[in-house]
Amino acid sequence: MKVDVKVPSMGESITEATVANIIKSSGSHVAMDDEILELETDKVNQVLYAPQAGILNLNVKPQDKVKIGQVLGYVETEGAEKHSGETPEKNVILPEKNTTPSVESKASTQKQAEKIEVKPLSTANARLGKEDFLKDLQAPYSGEDKTPPITSPSNTSALSAISPERETRRKMSGIRKVIASRMVEVKNTTAMLTTFNEVDMSAVMGLRDKFKEDFLHKQGVKLGLMSFFVKACVSALKQFPDINSYIEGDEIVHREFYDIGMAVGTDRGVIVPVVRNCDQLSYAEIERSIEGFAKKAREGSISVDDLQGGSFTITNGGIYGSMLSTPIINPGQSAILGLHKITKRAVVVDDQIVIRPIMYLALSYDHRIVDGKEAVSFLVHVKNHLEYPGASALI
């Protein structure tokens, strides 16, 4: 009996995937639930497992595009094979389409090219005027190529200096293609601008140091800095609702929920899992969500549902040592907050020069919907919330 291997549903927004890796080749004997191949989408990778024990036959190869529900092959169960004596069908690989131009198209192109003759200007730095152009059009074609070859010593030497042995090429992964496409899309479809501020992290760091042991003991999770930023952003989003909105056609859609995306770097690229209903969560619940996503990211088990939605995003380049950046807004959102490295700096407090742990904040926003005054005020609100936090909500 043949049991089909199909592409499973992987989320409402996903309609196709790419065959990333063939784990078990056609003709292999597989046990039930053996890993047989890996699919890659623009958001997650998913491994497919053998539905039954038997002989595997696949009709796809790496880098093939497949649709949700598509049959990728089948498993010939052992019982059916013994009775029928059938062997798995061999994969048929169609010859690649010949993309070489036809003789007719070459000849046509050559005839058109022969109608045009390009001549060098008589003097250096001369300009080609209308009279020169008309004169050349009326002149009979000589049949000789008098145009000297165009050479650029600097470019030629630079190109010749790079040998193929010093370069490597690799296919872009599905997620990298999507990242590239979306980043360009956002740059081309939004009026993106970035405003900056700095925040004195003394109060937050002091509060964390004071309560971290009790917090860990009572809540079972470490108290990090990210929960403070999430709470500060939720407070600011409530004060400035346009930043929690997006444009659809000629309407501004205000979101009445606070789902904060957390940009996380992985080996495959940046992913943005979303912490839902942050306005209803405690510091401990936020920290548990962040810790859970970090574990999933390390294991490669982030689901599509984890990445969908989000009304605002926080990205932390500081963990990699970034001093300052201009983060790019996520599609469907109007702003993103960039966090950076905390550095001890000399600042003036009460007319005294003191050393304080300072972080630079960057808010990139869509100027079509968010005015400069609103963006600056949002960032100041976040700054004040962090510099004067309350301890009552922690424990």
Positions marked catalytic: 367, 371
Cβ count near 72 (within 10 Å): 19
Q: Are strands 260-266 and 312-316 parallel, antiparallel or unpaired?
A: parallel
How far apart are the C-alpha atoms of 353 and 220, rounded to whole Å? 39
Helix (H, G, I), strand (E, B) or coil at 46: strand
49 φ/ψ angles, rounded to the nearest 5 degrees? -115, 155
How far apart are the C-alpha atoms of 292 and 238, rounded to whole Å? 26
Tell which residue, 347, 334, 366, 306, has the closest CA to residue 233.
334
Cβ count near 37 (within 10 Å): 23
Tokens of 60: 């796809």
Can you list the alpha helix ranges (DSSP code H) found in 70-127? Answer: 78-84, 103-114
Residue 268 per-residue DSSP state: T
Residues forming a β-bridge with 361:
197
How far apart are the C-alpha atoms of 107 and 202, rounded to whole Å? 76
Beta strands in the chain (DSSP E): 2-6, 16-22, 29-30, 35-40, 45-49, 54-58, 65-67, 71-77, 192-200, 245-248, 251-254, 260-266, 269-271, 274-275, 312-316, 335-339, 343-349, 352-366
Cβ count near 173 (within 10 Å): 17
How far apart are the C-alpha atoms of 229 and 384, rounded to whole Å? 11
Burial classification of residue 171, based on how many CB atoms lie within 10 Å of its CB (0-12 exposed, 13-18 middle, 19 or more buried): exposed
